Structure 1
Amino acid sequence: MPQVELAWGAATAVGQREDNQDRFLAAPPVFAVADGMGGHVGGAAAAEAVVEALRSLAGQGTTTVAAIRLALQRADGEIRAFQGPEKSGAGTTVAGVALVDEGEGPQWAVFHVGDSRVYRWHEGRLELCTKDHSVVQELIDAGYISDESAATHPQRHIITRALGVGPRPEADVVLFPVVPEDRYMACSDGLTGELGDGRIAALLCAGDAPDAVVSRLVAEADASRARDNATAVLVRSA
């Protein structure tokens, strides 16, 4: 199986929150962002549990979709087993991309639970690879509200799927071919809540090194007085 050369970067900022409950992983073949919720201690612990479960897949050239799902299921169980009032109701979203081999050579597996997102820069344009698991997205799909009004909708922060809380979630997974110079960015909603797709596209298309791109994206979100933690991980195939 041919090796895929990768370059990547990651950055995070607290924003206007008291602490950072986002966690990220940039450890080939897995790149992911988890956005914890449910209190300062519990949210951070939930996000950390997901990142550590996915970290178990690192160190190999590729992983599998089944292994990704198993890691997320294990993290979901660990979060639900948290003890103590400080961790009560803890949960987390997750979004990421991983190199997988499903018998046809390496592919990118984009996975997510909740409203953290994965974008792809492909053939000169930005594509959103994930669909938010949120009340607002359901309203958009049903035709009740427009994409434009979603950003200010009073229920925009209510998610319908998360690890650790509610019904046992199933991650959405989509496979993409490995294309040289494609860029994939996983990010928390603290970033997309401050920067529109146009600004994200403008920075991704510049061709700068991934660490420089994500550092600027997160810095711009933070400079906009981001209301939430803002985190991004970017990976590029050579």
Structure 2
Amino acid sequence: MTTTASSSGAPRVSASAASDRGRVRRVNEDTLLAEHPVYVVADGMGGHARGDEASRRAVAALADLRGTAPSPAEVLSAIAAANDSVIAIAHDEQGPSGLAGTTLTGVVLVEAGLPPVPHWMALNIGDSRVYTWDGRDLRQISTDHSAVQELVDAGLISPDEARQHPDRNVITKALGVVDALTPDVWLIPLRPGHGFVVCSDGLSKELADVEIAEALARFQPGGPTPAEVLVELALERGGHDNVSVVVVEVDGAAAVHEASATRDAPVIPEETAPRPNRGDA
């Protein structure tokens, strides 16, 4: 699936998206959306029907932003509505068996600053990921809300060890768990050649970052889309989990080498994402 959008004087934005239940799981509990200006992935938890419903509800709340130029505050309101909608599943089902949760990760093209200009608003809750991709470098800009990431940050295990750790599926933040949820959010200027990869952990647990970058660098138009290529590689590695990928590309005459969450984005109260462990402090 490919979507495109452009506005006068702005680079054209295109996206490809793909999702698969994997080789092991019976149900795909992932939901994605790649319709301008919203590019997100949600990875549901809580059992077959409930995880699927949780991810669908989360993405549906952000789908209301399609076709608009939202403000950062409007995106935050949509995330809060998504959390409320997922929490409501427990009341729909009644009892502990009705509990559900989901990650929610991605980027939304917003109008921010004075005067308002296009910026990407990245958001993250859980262990799905947002990477920047400029045609040369792939860099994770989200921070996994997971038990193994805390071990990595403490220097107790390496990132490679985290991919195989027995607690690698334990996350520390998700939609649907608490009433008052604070997502990681931050702004990145819209730049020619500066795109993103958004994925569920079904990709990042099968492929190392360098392998994702190599696959993107080898991509040739005319065949499977970049997102389809990455999903297929995850399946070839075993497909132990649902896998969903959105690749966002921004046209430009030359790729821009850009650090993750840039310093020249306007500072707004809504920015909450931790930066020091991504090398951009």
TM category (shorter chain) comes to over 0.9
Spell out, residue by residue over 1:150-190, the C-alpha distance to the aligned partner (whole angstroms, 9 max, x if none): 11111111000000014632110121121212221110001
Q: 1:224 aligns with which of 207, 218, 237?
A: 237
Instruction: Summarize the alignment of residues 4-153 of structure 1 with structure 2, pairs less than 5 Å apart.
Output: 4-15=11-22, 16-60=24-68, 62-82=69-89, 83-84=92-93, 88-103=98-113, 104-122=116-134, 124-153=136-165
Q: Which TM-score applies when normalising by structure 1? A: 0.93
For the residues of structure 2 that align with 1:27 and 1:208, how far apart are their CA atoms? 23
Please say if 1:165 is aligned against 2:177: yes
**For structure 1, which segment, 198-207 or 97-106, has the greater mean C-alpha deviation from structure 2 after superposition?**
198-207
For the residues of structure 2 that align with 1:211 and 1:57, how far apart are their CA atoms? 28
Relative to structure 1, the CA distance from residue 87 to residue 214 in structure 2 (aligned partners, 3 Å threshold; closer, same or farther) is: farther
Relative to structure 1, the CA distance from residue 13 to residue 134 in structure 2 (aligned partners, 3 Å threshold; closer, same or farther) is: same
Q: Which TM-score applies when normalising by structure 2? A: 0.80
C-alpha contact 1:11 1:211 (8 A) present in aligned 2: no
For the residues of structure 1 that align with 2:248 and 2:126, how far apart are their CA atoms? 21
For the residues of structure 2 that align with 1:203 and 1:149, how far apart are their CA atoms? 22
Please say if 1:199 is aligned against 2:211: yes
Kindly indicate whether structure 1 or structure 2 has the higher relative contact order, using CA contacts under 8 Å at least 6 residues apart: 1
Rg bigger for which structure?
A: 2
Relative to structure 1, the CA distance from residue 189 to residue 14 in structure 2 (aligned partners, 3 Å threshold; closer, same or farther) is: same
The unaligned stretches of length 5 or more in structure 1 are: none
Aligned to 1:154: 166
> Which amino acid in structure 2 is aligned with residue 115 of structure 1?
D
> Which amino acid in structure 2 is aligned with residue 151 of structure 1?
R
Please say if 1:188 is aligned against 2:200: yes
Spell out, residue by residue over 1:99-126, the C-alpha distance to the aligned partner (whole angstroms, 9 max, x if none): 1111241111111100000111136211
C-alpha contact 2:105 2:128 (8 A) present in aligned 1: yes
Spell out, residue by residue over 1:132-160, the C-alpha distance to the aligned partner (whole angstroms, 9 max, x if none): 00111111112222222111111111000
Please say if 1:178 is aligned against 2:190: yes
The unaligned stretches of length 5 or more in structure 2 are: 1-7, 252-281
Q: Tell me the secondary structure at the aligned position of residue 196 of structure 2.
A: strand
> Which amino acid in structure 2 is aligned with residue 27 of structure 1?
E
> Which amino acid in structure 2 is aligned with residue 31 of structure 1?
Y
C-alpha contact 1:31 1:98 (8 A) present in aligned 2: yes
Shift of residue 203, structure 1, vs aligned partner: 2.0
Q: Tell me the secondary structure at the aligned position of residue 71 of structure 1.
A: helix
**Aligned CA-pair RMSD:** 1.9
C-alpha contact 2:11 2:192 (8 A) present in aligned 1: no
